[in-house]
């Protein structure tokens, strides 16, 4: 009878341990899945922000180039004469 009690106690404790391990495994798998989901969302947000930054850089470069073209079409240069007077000359 004592052996049967020990067997049942061992069987029950093994059952509890196995149930705990299976449930913790499911929890771990859920955690890993959540991490992958979070990483996917972070990558998507970073891609959107990168695209936005690239648009800003392209727009800024285009604006800078337009100003340079406008300035080169109507350049005003200062010329110092031999007597020290300064004259502005507009390039044609």
Which residues lie closer than 8 Å to 74 by C-beta, 6 or more apart? 90, 91
Token look-up 């969302």 returns 41
pLDDT band at 32; cut points 50, 70, 90: very high
Whether the per-residue pLDDT at 64 is higher than 90: the answer is yes
Instruction: Report the share of the chain in percent with pLDDT over 90.
Output: 41
Q: What is the pLDDT of residue 92?
A: 46
pLDDT band at 26; cut points 50, 70, 90: confident
pLDDT band at 59; cut points 50, 70, 90: very high
Question: Total domain count for the chain?
Answer: 1
**Structural domain for 20, as ranges:** 2-90
């Amino acid at each position: 009878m004592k052996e049967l009690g020990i067997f049942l106690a061992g069987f029950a404790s093994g059952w509890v341990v196995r149930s705990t391990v299976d449930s913790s495994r499911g929890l771990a798998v859920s955690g890993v899945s959540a991490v992958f989901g979070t990483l996917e969302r972070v990558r998507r947000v970073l891609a959107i922000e990168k695209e936005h930054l690239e648009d800003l850089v392209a727009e800024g470069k285009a604006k800078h180039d337009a100003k340079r073209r406008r300035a080169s079409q109507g350049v005003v240069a200062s010329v110092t004469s031999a007597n020290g007077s300064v004259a502005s000359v507009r390039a044609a």
